[in-house]
Amino acid sequence: MSFKTIERQAPVRAYRSKLFVPGSRPELFAKAAAGAADVLCLDIEDAVAPSDKDKARENIVAALNDIDFGGKTVTARINGLDTHWCYRDVIALVERGGERLDAILIPKVGCAADVYAIDVLVTQASQAVGRKKRIGLEVLIETVLGLENIHEIAGASRRLESLHFGSADFAASQRMRTTNIGGANAGYAVLTDKDGDTPRDSHWNDLWHYPIFRMVTACRAHGLTPVDGPFGDYADQDGFRAQATRSAILGCEGKWAIHPSQVALCNEVFTPPQQEVARARAILAAMKDAQAKGLGAVSLDGVLIDAASIRQAETIVAQMALIEARGS
Ligand code: COA
Ligand code: MG
């Protein structure tokens, strides 16, 4: 290990599913509050038409004061720093949203100064009203600039809790030739080599592998929680499960749900499977036994395990403990 240690800055809480609710549809707030999502995101940005921004902001302020969100983590997505709605969103949420709001999601962050600017506003507004609970910041990586500057962004504020990957805006920013929101694209594939007349297979690749992998690495280096973003085709449950499972295996702790039907899928995929938890516990027990005998590396069911296996297994056991503490 390096002499430099990484402390977990993010609050330790379950983040398997983050259900988005447009601020312009207040009739959905109570349904979302009663559902099974670990986290809610009340949106004033892209799910809300420009003509509805002011109304959506007020709807969210009212909901934060009036609705019982139970044990959920409650967040709101503000408009980007390039819009005139942005500062009003922050001031309204922090000054008039009461103590219920847990975090603010900043979209389209491009550099560390974007986070700094919102931190300044949140800090001043919090002080002005004597807010007791500290509001966290969440960052949406969804532009090429954000991905290029991700390391400095991830270290930009002590309020930062999580990074999220937004595939649709990212694709637009990179001018990728795709209109899917998350998921696969048949054109992004490799063909197996020519072998006489044998039919050649086409193997689809994961368009989102690099940015998600990069985001998870930046998060872990700064003690933040990595979260995968939206999957637009909410009728395609298998496609969602496949994308979410890839993200979970890379280290993401959760994914967005843009329709209530995706919440259960998120909770399922981001809860470590029973056999993986059992295997992790068996590794910890076997290594404890090995260490008592003065052994560093041993075999468990014919497979090598050593000190690194302890760290891998502890990750899975700790994630499970977090989810059990959430109680759903
Ligand atoms: N939160 C809570 N409840 C929701 C919901 C949401 N985001 N979206 C739909 N519902 C409810 C509906 O009210 C309906 O409830 P009912 O059975 O009591 O009538 C039920 O879930 C089924 O909804 P459905 O009719 O299939 O959806 P819809 O056509 O009303 O809306 C979307 C579909 C995609 C427009 C809507 O889910 C939505 O706005 N999602 C969030 C989009 C968003 O925020 N995008 C930004 C981030 S990418
Ligand atoms: Mg976006």
How confident is the model over 239-260, as a mean pLDDT? 97
Q: Are residues 116 and 46 in the same domain?
A: yes
Indicate the pLDDT class of residue 11, thresholds 50, 70 and 90. Answer: confident
pLDDT of residue 123: 98
264 and 170 assigned to the same domain: yes
Choose the residue to mutate in 25, 77, 170, 259 for probing ligand 1, maximizing ligand atoms within 8 Å of C-beta: 259
Predicted pLDDT of residue 254:
98
Residues 170 and 314 in one domain: no
Q: What is the model's pLDDT at position 12?
A: 79
Residue nearest ligand 1's atom 34 by CA: 259
Which domain CATH number covers 185?
3.20.20.60
Pocket test for ligand 1, best of 28, 59, 170, 263 (most atoms within 8 A of CB): 28
Closest ligand 1 atom, residue 45 Cα = 46
Place of tokens 């809860």: 271
Q: Is 4 a domain residue?
A: no
pLDDT at 328 over 70: no
Amino acid of residue 118: I
Is the pLDDT reported for residue 226 higher than 80? yes
Q: How confident is the model at residue 10 (pLDDT cuts 50, 70, 90)?
A: confident
Q: What's the CA gap between 120 and 109, in Å, rounded?
A: 15
Containing H/E element for 299? strand 298-300
Average pLDDT, the chain: 96
Residue range 111-158, pLDDT digits in tens: 999 999 999 999 999 999 999 999 999 999 999 999 999 999 999 999
What is the structure's pLDDT at 325? 84
290 and 245, same domain (yes or no): no
Considering the domain architecture, whether residues 174 and 288 belong to the same structural domain is answered as no
Kindly report the protein residue whose alpha carbon is nearest to atom 3 of ligand 1.
Answer: 28
Q: What is the C-alpha radius of gyration for the chain, rounded to an integer number of angstroms?
A: 21
Q: Which residue has the tokens 């843009």?
A: 258
Say if 216 falls within a structural domain: yes
For residues 266 and 323, membership in a common domain is answered with no
- Do residues 52 and 157 both lie within one domain? yes
Length of the chain: 328
pLDDT in tens, 192-208: 999 999 999 999 999 99
**Ligand 1 binding pocket, CB closer than 6 Å:** 19-22, 28, 31-32, 43, 46-47, 230, 258-260
Instruction: For residue 5, name the pLDDT band (cuts at 50, 70, 90).
Output: confident
Residues 113 and 164 in one domain: yes
Q: What residue owns the CA closest to ligand 1's atom 46?
A: 47
Residue 10 lies in a domain: no
Q: Which atom of ligand 1 is nearest to the CA of 259?
A: 37
Domain count, the chain: 2
Distance from the alpha carbon of residue 166 to the mean position of ligand 2, in angstroms: 6
State residue 39's pLDDT score.
Answer: 98
One domain, residues 266 and 287: no
Q: What is the pLDDT of residue 7?
A: 83
> Is the separation of the CB atoms in 41 and 78 below 8 Å?
no
Whose C-alpha lies nearest to ligand 1, atom 41?
258
Q: Is 80 exceeded by the pLDDT of residue 327?
A: no
Q: What is the mean pLDDT of residues 280-300?
A: 94
Return the H-helix or E-strand segment holding 160.
Answer: strand 160-165
Cα torsion angle, 17, 320, 161, 224, sign: negative
276 CA from centroid of ligand 2 (Å): 34
Based on the fold, state whether residues 321 and 242 are members of the same structural domain. no
Whole-structure pTM value = 0.95
> What pLDDT band is residue 4 in, cutting at 50, 70 and 90?
confident
Answer whether residue 53 shows pLDDT above 70: yes
Q: Which residues of 21-57 are buried (b: 16+ CB within 10 A; e: fewer)?
A: bbbbbbebbeebbebebbbbbbbbbbbbeeebbeebb
**Full domain range(s) for residue 302:** 276-327
Ion ligand 2: protein residues whose beta carbon lies under 5 Å: 142, 166, 169
